[in-house]
Amino acid sequence: MQLAIATLLSTLLVYTSNAGSGGWDHDPTSMIGPKYWGNVSAICRDGRKQSPINIVPPSTIYQPYPALNLTVPEGNAVFKFGNGGHDVSGHPVVSSGGNILLRGGPLGAAYKFHNIHIHYGNKSMPASEHSVERARTTGELHAVFYNSSFTTLSDAAADNSSSAIAVIGIRFAAGLWVNESYYHAGLQSFFENVASLTYKGNETTHSFNMSDLLRPEDIDRFYTYEGSLTTPNCQETVQWLVMEKTQYVRSTLIDAISHFRSGNTLTSKLIIGNARPVQALNGRTIYRNFQIPQSEPSIAPSTWRTGNASASTTPVVSTATSGVAPIAAAPVVLTTTVLVFTFATLKN
């Protein structure tokens, strides 16, 4: 009996400690993990338009949306990057030319930029939030915008409109190429800027140009649907724009942040794996702004199957024309490497 009471008290102390540090986390074994987020906000449990989702390209509907257009003030803005405990993020603190704005696609207005943050795993633990045909990549960067009719993101999140917020999702994978031209320069810059943010509350400032992160060729093909924020309070006010291409980041840059902590001590939980499980579609329609030829694979072979935690290596070259960045034409000198990673993929 005394042992049972001691165990219960220990459990309660752990729960109280975790709740005090944020009230929720991404740990699937935790009492404040995703399956308990409904205790923080009922809509996380009861909502019908929750995110992220699994995307099945053949089931999506083509719509000829206008191109997405990002307006960025000239020159690099000064960004503050920080470890918030649940993720690492960056937002502008100085920009001489005004707001960064997003227009086009399914958006009926201009949207102001709020921040960028990442959900990430590693080569053996894929943690992009959205999956494509049940496949997840190493991680996913989110660029968050809100309708310019609102003063702040919080005001937009509190609104009942399904399009008060717009989020661009860019799925990325770890790569092992020597040639730097195969990697996404803007994504790599983000990882380099956050490399020192080991503990919750750590912050740093760097110049950062959003034009390098969201280039026209990066945001030209996308899936879009009505959804929610992927963390509590899970408000269903988001127009999602999930990019079709998978971009690549040097694996060493991803490994460098794998030790980041959700608290301010070495005993704090790791942030890595901070992806919410895929949510039910519940009859929603997913649209895309690009055609899918019948002969074209609907998913890049460089992505991981959802739940394949035993995978031991990340494929780094793909010959598919859908779902990957246009970098598949590797030089002849990489032929041996291509074969090695192709065989590794076949074994998984």
For the chain, the structural domain boundaries read: 1-40, 43-347
pLDDT at 179: 87
pLDDT of residue 96: 61
Residue 189 to residues 148, 183, 192, 194: CA-CA distances in angstroms? 27, 11, 5, 9
Q: What is the pTM of this model?
A: 0.80
3-state DSSP call for residue 193?
helix
Cα gap 255→165, rounded to integer Å: 31
Give the closest residue to 251 by CA, choosing from 303, 313, 304, 175.
175
Place of tokens 């309070």: 233
* Alpha carbon 91 to its chain's center: 16
Of residues 147, 137, 138, the one with CA closest to residue 113? 147
> CATH for 43-347?
3.10.200.10
Backbone angles phi, psi at 43, to 5 degrees: -65, -25
Residue 187's nearest CA partner among 135, 137, 254, 232 is: 254
Specify the pLDDT at position 245: 97
Helix, strand, coil percent values for the chain (each to nearest 5): 25, 25, 50
Distance, CA of 328 to CA of 183 (rounded, Å): 11
Task: Say what the pLDDT of residue 294 is.
Answer: 67
For residue 233, is the peptide bond before it cis, meaning its omega torsion is within 30 degrees of 0? yes
The tens-digit pLDDT sequence of the chain (348 residues) is 444 434 333 333 333 333 334 599 999 999 999 999 999 999 999 999 999 999 999 999 999 999 999 999 876 789 999 999 999 999 999 766 689 999 999 999 999 999 999 999 988 899 999 999 999 999 999 999 999 999 999 999 999 898 999 999 999 999 988 888 899 999 999 999 999 999 999 999 999 999 999 999 999 999 999 999 999 999 999 999 999 999 999 999 999 999 999 999 999 999 999 999 999 999 999 999 999 886 444 443 333 334 333 333 333 333 333 344 433 333 333 333 333 333 333 333
Cα 186 to Cα 76: distance, rounded to the nearest angstrom = 12
pLDDT at 262: 96
